[in-house]
Amino acid sequence: MWMSVRLTAAILSMLFSATCFAGSLPAPTGDVILIISGNISHSNIAGTAQFDRAMLDALPQQHFTTTSPWTEGPHRYDGVLLKELLITVGAQSASVTLKALNDYHVTLELAPIADYPVLVAMKSDGKVMRVRDKGPLWLLYPMTDYPELDSQKNHLNMIWQLDRIEVE
């Protein structure tokens, strides 16, 4: 019995992942924490791609440990690569505008970071990031592994409390 429940859960997880790359995304069932709009070909609600935490957790997860100008010492961050998220929604663009809960926004050119594992982090040191801890989502560059990314320009792009991405 337990084995069949685990097998069913694994199959559902694979089907969900496959659906993310099909024409439309499943609708979120929990609180929406990220909305992607604009030039995308995969959507779920009114031409946008809306994600709850479970939907983001179902995407391939990555992690890295890095320092940042806003934290003390290195921390491990877990989440979805920005590149993977943009593929999931079928984004067709050379740039995106990232917006935070407080309407802070940056326009990010994708070509200069295409070869780096830029992360939309959901966890810091294994804990879900809350709004007061720069969450629920924080765009992070792996500056410890790639010191060339540690620049003032890139610091400005590492937007926390991320909740919207507009694909140009």
pTM for the whole structure: 0.85
User: For residue 2, is pLDDT > 70?
Assistant: no
User: For residue 11, is pLDDT > 80?
Assistant: no
Three-class DSSP category at 49: strand
pLDDT of amino acid 24: 82
User: For residue 126, is pLDDT > 60?
Assistant: yes
Whole-number Å distance between alpha carbons of 106 and 128: 24
Whole-number Å distance between alpha carbons of 153 and 126: 28
What value, to the nearest 5°, has the Cα angle with vertex 43 and ends 91 and 132? 85
pLDDT band for position 15 (cuts 50, 70, 90): very low
Average pLDDT of span 47-61:
97
Token pair belonging to 52: 């709850």
pLDDT of amino acid 23: 60
Is-contact 168 95, C-beta < 8 A?
A: yes
In this structure, is the dihedral angle defined by the CA atoms of residues 30, 51, 162 and 150, taken in order, positive or negative?
Answer: positive
